[in-house]
Amino acid sequence: MNAKSSRVARGLVPRRLKKVATGGDGELKTDEEAPVANTPLVNLRTTLELFGLPGFKVDMYVERRIKDSKEVSGHRDELSTRKVLLNEALKTFVTDNYRKFIHTSKEIEHIEGDMSNLYNTLTHYSGALKKLQDMSFTSEIEDGNITQSMDNDTQDTKPHSTDLLGEVLEELGTLMFESKLDQAVTLITSVMDRINLSDPKKDNVIMAKQAIKGKLEQLIGLLSEATQSDVLKSSERRRYLNHIVQLGYPEKALRLFLQHRRSVLRASYGQIRSTGELTSYITDVSGIIFSTVAMAWIDFRRIFRQPARASAFYRWVIDELYAFDDTFTRLVFQSDSAFRVVCQCVHLAVLSCKVLEKQGMRFSFMLETLFYDALRAAFQSYSIAVRQTVSKSVKAENWEIEQAWVKQSVSSETAEKLSITKSARNLYDTVHQFILDMKLVLINPALFDPTVNDLLPLAISGIRSLFEDYLLAMTAASKSDMISDAQGMSIVANCYFLAEDLFPRIKKQLAGKVDMKRGLSNIAAFHDQLGKFYKAQRDFFFQQRGDVWVRDVIRWPANASAWYKEGGNSDAPVETPSPGFINFGKYLETLQSLAKSCLDAEVPRMQSRAVAEVLSLLRSDAQWSHAPEKFDTRAYRQLVLDMMFTKMAEGGSGHYLDSISRYIGEIVGQARKRLVNPGDASAVDEAWAVTIVDCMPEKSRLSLVSVGDNAAPDRPPAQLVLPARTPRTTRALSTMPSKPKSSSKDL
């Protein structure tokens, strides 16, 4: 592309654009005779036509040039040139038009600013001319023939001031007839100011005052009618009321002001369309009344400067609040709405009333006083309904206990699926919703002042009553003789669930809303009682159920045939477990599943004590006296003990052995005290720990002793818990020796 073409494309060289046309072969054909006029903005279409677009077509160009002798490189250079020219033209088009657009927009801004300044200047001139016209009327009355006629005692004819006053009155009448009330107020105010500066004892001044007073009353009537018009803008209405106050009728202006606001409220109420949702309707009604009051207060302070007149405004607001209370009571409190809906409606109403506090008015205490009795009655009814709901839930679960667990012999897995803890969750859900409802109103100090009513103590007592009723029902159920192990564990789990999980959440929910002096201390004290109740229930259940476990195990070996395989070679050891042994294995699995349900550090100790008593019975020779004489009872007995701990340690997750490991420091410590100081009575309070460790397999016993926390004495750990070492027959039954080795102590 040569320099001339570049300058032309960029618009740097002023010239007439050539008329461009393209032929069928895609060649550029120009007409020097057809000039194109220059325009302020570059024409994009003309620019494209200048370079053969959009008439240029690639297919036609290729078909035309396919037989041409020009080489491919020549065609490529030609197309590249066209491309470069087109890019430059497009850039020039965008740049020039953008610059011209920015320049034009700035000029428009300057013109708009000049027009605004001119309008303000004309407004000032118009106001100045109006004041000069008013001053001409009043100066004629003041400085004209009124004073001259008062000093001229010899003149018998009517003074010329009467004619001037008549002109003023005629002008006032014309302005009022044409509804130019603002100009009429300005004129009559100027005349009255001039008359008030004159001597009030002169007859002409008195006559002028009487004449002006009639027109003034007529003007006040017109202004009063104008303020009650529905089509009048708020700014115009406020200006007319200002005129009435300025003319010396503030009481009338206040009465008109409040009357109009009352009519606006009634009209707004009639425009509300109910959608079927009570909360939506209350939101609309509350928003209308309190937004109207807020706007009225703003206009009131603009119009009436005297603070003494605010009492009349407050009386009007109180009357409207009483009317709102009647509507609210009829729609909310006297309906069959749920307590949640009632609290939401009260919350919405009070929050809407809080809008007035931004304007310096506080009327929420009025709503609290108006709503108190009805809200208290609704709260008491709701409390009764909630307690009945919790009672029904407990009764339903008691029925489930009786039907699903007592009358049907279900396994421990089924019992876990039928966990009674769902009643505790149901209670928590009920109380949680109860708190959410009350947090809107009853326990919301930002909404209602809790120091002036007893709603907050009622709410706290209601929460406590729900828990007390539930815990009493659970206590009665836990002491039933028909209850099973799984049920008892679930009841204890309920107590723990409430004491350690749900109730702290409730405390956390209340902590940010309730003052410690206003009920939260009562909640904290009850939480302590709840913890004590949980511990008492846990100790009672495990002590009672531990006795039952021991009693059941004592009855199991009573049937000798159930523990041994009958028939076959009596000299050979038992190669396969008998049905009785399988039942014993199920018992061990039950112990393991119950151990999984242990909830805190003290529960496994209760189970460990019961297991120790069972092991002591299994180690007793009296329990094996029914065995055949040819059987190796010592080896078989040790096999039973090993299998018991094997099932507890390896059957499942081994949770029972892990729970014992957590207390092995204490267990080993008690065992050491017993061996080191056998005469110390205080060292024998955990004798069961020695029993349970002594009955363990050697591998498990050594692993437990190795994790003890107390310092080890000189003797090896194994000798601390076992006076004499004996062989442990933990091998398979087929490899168990028929005759054991001698030992210093019988197992």
347-402 pLDDT per residue, tens: 888 888 877 777 777 777 777 778 878 878 887 787 777 777 777 776 776 656 55
Share of the chain above pLDDT 90, in %: 0
Highest mean pLDDT among 29-33, 694-698, 731-735: 694-698
Mean pLDDT of the chain: 61
Strand partners, 31: 19
Rounded to the nearest 5°, which phi and psi values hold at 34?
-110, 90
> By the 8 A CB rule, do 257 and 300 touch?
yes
Question: What is the average per-residue pLDDT within 462-476?
Answer: 71
**What pLDDT was estimated at residue 24?**
43
**575-593 pLDDT tens trace:** 444 444 444 445 445 444 4
Strand partners, 283: none
Task: Please state, in angstroms and rounded to a whole number, the distance separating the CA atoms of residues 735 and 318.
Answer: 98
Share of the chain above pLDDT 70, in %: 35
Task: Please state, in angstroms and rounded to a whole number, the distance separating the CA atoms of residues 447 and 357.
Answer: 12
Domain ranges of the chain: 3-113, 125-149+158-260, 273-362, 380-548, 559-735
**14-25 pLDDT tens trace:** 333 333 334 444
Helix H or strand E segment including 677: none
Give the chain's largest Cα–Cα span. 168
Terminal-to-terminal C-alpha distance of the chain: 114
Coil, helix or strand at residue 479: coil
Q: Is the pLDDT of residue 211 over 60?
A: yes
Considering only residues 288 and 273, tell me which one the structure prediction assigns the higher pLDDT: 288
**What pLDDT was estimated at residue 37?**
40
Token pair, residue 257, equals 């002001």
Q: Is the pLDDT of residue 151 over 80?
A: no
Considering only residues 227 and 487, tell me which one the structure prediction assigns the higher pLDDT: 227
**What pLDDT was estimated at residue 734?**
28
Please report, for residues 20, 22, 47, the alpha-carbon distance to residue 9 in angstroms, rounded to integers and kept in the order given: 14, 18, 8
Count Cβ atoms below 10 Å from residue 523 Cβ, excluding itself: 18
Q: Is the pLDDT of residue 512 over 80?
A: no
- Helix spans in 277-338 (H): 278-303, 310-328
Count Cβ atoms below 10 Å from residue 361 Cβ, excluding itself: 18
Of 218, 263, 200, the closest CA to residue 237 belongs to 263
Task: Name which of 184-198, 484-498, 698-712 the model is least confident about.
Answer: 698-712
Count Cβ atoms below 10 Å from residue 49 Cβ, excluding itself: 21
Q: Going by C-beta distance under 8 Å and a sequence separation of 6 or more, which residues neighbour residue 676?
A: 683, 713
Task: Please state, in angstroms and rounded to a whole number, the distance separating the CA atoms of residues 175 and 184.
Answer: 6
Q: Is the pLDDT of residue 661 over 60?
A: no
**What pLDDT was estimated at residue 324?**
85
Q: Is the pLDDT of residue 403 over 50?
A: yes
Map 616-667 to HEC letters. HHHHCHHHHCCCCCCCCHHHHHHHHHHHHHHHHHHCCCCHHHHHHHCCHHHH
How many CA atoms lie less than 13 Å away from 184 in the CB half-sphere? 26
Task: Name which of 40-54, 185-199, 247-261, 304-318 the model is least confident about.
Answer: 40-54
Please report, for residues 7, 20, 37, 97, the alpha-carbon distance to residue 14 in angstroms, rounded to integers and kept in the order given: 9, 17, 11, 17
Q: Is the pLDDT of residue 341 over 80?
A: yes
Highest mean pLDDT among 37-51, 177-191, 320-334, 660-674: 320-334
- What is the value of pTM for the model shown? 0.45
Of 551, 542, 359, 514, the closest CA to residue 439 belongs to 514
How many CA atoms lie less than 13 Å away from 502 in the CB half-sphere? 24
Strand partners, 17: 36
Task: Please state, in angstroms and rounded to a whole number, the distance separating the CA atoms of residues 470 and 483.
Answer: 18
**What pLDDT was estimated at residue 118?**
79
Question: What is the average per-residue pLDDT within 459-478?
Answer: 70
**78-129 pLDDT tens trace:** 777 877 887 787 788 788 887 777 878 778 877 877 777 777 777 777 767 7
Which of the four CATH numbers 1.20.58.1210, 1.10.1740.10, 3.40.1440.10, 3.30.70.20 does domain 125-149+158-260 have? 1.20.58.1210
**What pLDDT was estimated at residue 725?**
31
Question: What is the average per-residue pLDDT within 185-201?
Answer: 69
Could you tell me the pLDDT band of residue 185, with boundaries at 50, 70 and 90? confident
Task: Please state, in angstroms and rounded to a whole number, the distance separating the CA atoms of residues 352 and 357.
Answer: 10
Task: Please state, in angstroms and rounded to a whole number, the distance separating the CA atoms of residues 359 and 351.
Answer: 14
Q: At what angle do helices 698-705 and 687-694 cross, to 10 degrees?
A: 130
Task: Name which of 158-162, 253-257, 381-385, 609-613 the model is least confident about.
Answer: 158-162
